[in-house]
Amino acid sequence: MQEAYVIVLFLFVLFTLLGTGVWVGLALVGVAFFGMELFTTRPVGDTMATTIWRASSSWTLIALPMFIWMGEILFRTRLSQDMFRGLAPWMARLPGGLVHTNIVGCTVFAAVSGSSAATLTTVGKMSIPELRKREYPEHMVIGTLAGAATLGLMIPPSLTLIVYGVTINESIIKLFFAGVLPGLVLAAMFMAYVGIYAMVSRKWNPIAETGMSLSDKLKNSRFLIPVLCLIAVVIGSMFAGLATATEAAAIGVIGALVLAALQGSLTWSTFIESLMGATRTSAMIALILAGAAFLALAMGFTGLPRGLADLIASWDLSKFQLLMVLLVFYIILGMFLDGISSVVLTMAVVETMVREAGIDMIWFGIFIVVVVEMAQITPPIGFNLFVLQGMTNHEMGFIARAAFPMFLIMVLMVFILIAVPDLATWLPDNVRQAPGG
């Protein structure tokens, strides 16, 4: 009962602060401060300063702003137009046609971005006008884009995986490796859905593409070379054990700057805009991480994580039952919080019970990311839905309905991960890392 009382108080203070419009990071600090004052005798000010400094000065965390900056730079290049020109000839003849450019484009850009919002905006600017021009069903254009953009959270470099790794002190590179195969499988599932829908739907009647010879297709493919080279350098350096995540992030920033310069889109204005965009996003995430670290410490002093873990252990749940409880819990939480906030807010409690259940923490990171991806497209706070609403001027209800099949595919992906855990653990167990990775 003591744990239930503490949980109610913590949640009441948290949602009161969030409801008044306080930033998530500051709300977490406020809840932690409240808990320390009420349930411990430790000096709150000294503890808060020490904890926040330790959380903010992590060397591993340096990779985060670097990967964000890389995505910001590429967001301001002509990458999106070039990607469409390179992908379209190969996608046109598949069942589902050019709608596949949404999925493949998001998969490719996710490998150089790490941000769902950046992936959605970049690929959406490219594909929505072109697909509308060719009269593809609007709900498929919107739905596939909303779902496929979430791949930015899983395919490395993933900002959510970096935050998860820092929060539970796991290898960032191992988590990156773990996200590759599930990310590709999820993209393939999205494409399979599009192909099946195109074959069975009577509403599927886009304007046919003109034929293109193999030589012309290969000629257009040259537009994909810059981004594929950048992916090969950034991801390949980690896979080959030549660079840590932080070093690969620095390489990615340099590569993105070179790419932008070669395209002629690197001006002083775009450089400053990309730098300030990365600074704002990094500062926001760092504040959330600092607040979460302080909250985790405060909850530790109250004994709440251990008490909850013991309580759930007393229920004698199997691994599968525990994962189903967490699946429902994170889906509900994701309706009100963004993915990174959901991860850092809950790990202090969830990590203990997951480790005691004998669940691999690398595998669980991918499980969490898939569920957090769902939160990106679930109302009322699905961030991808808001981005799409701004881009298309559709009502939120229409966008949510269009994205719902993608949500169901992600639920299916969770069960595939549970049934085939090697999908997430094989690469981390079999690829060597760079020292310090």
pLDDT tens readout for residues 86-135 = 777 777 778 888 888 888 888 888 877 767 777 787 788 778 888 888 88
Mean pLDDT, residues 215-221: 74
Mean pLDDT, residues 260-283: 85
pLDDT above 90 coverage of the chain, percent: 13
**CA-to-CA dists, residue 163 to 21, 244, 337, 387, 418, angstroms:** 23, 16, 15, 22, 23
6-44: per-residue pLDDT in tens? 667 766 777 777 677 777 778 878 888 887 777 777 777
pLDDT of residue 187: 92
Query: How many C-beta atoms surround the C-beta of residue 361 within 10 A?
Result: 17
pLDDT of residue 363: 95
pLDDT of residue 149: 86
229-256: per-residue pLDDT in tens? 888 888 888 777 788 878 888 888 898 8
57-92: per-residue pLDDT in tens? 766 677 778 877 887 887 777 766 677 777 777 777
The burial class, CB within 10 Å (0-12 / 13-18 / 19+), for 339 is buried
Query: How many C-beta atoms surround the C-beta of residue 152 within 10 A?
Result: 32
Token representation of residue 222: 């040259």
pLDDT at 47 over 80: no
341-397: per-residue pLDDT in tens? 778 777 877 888 888 888 999 999 999 989 888 877 877 667 778 778 877 888 888
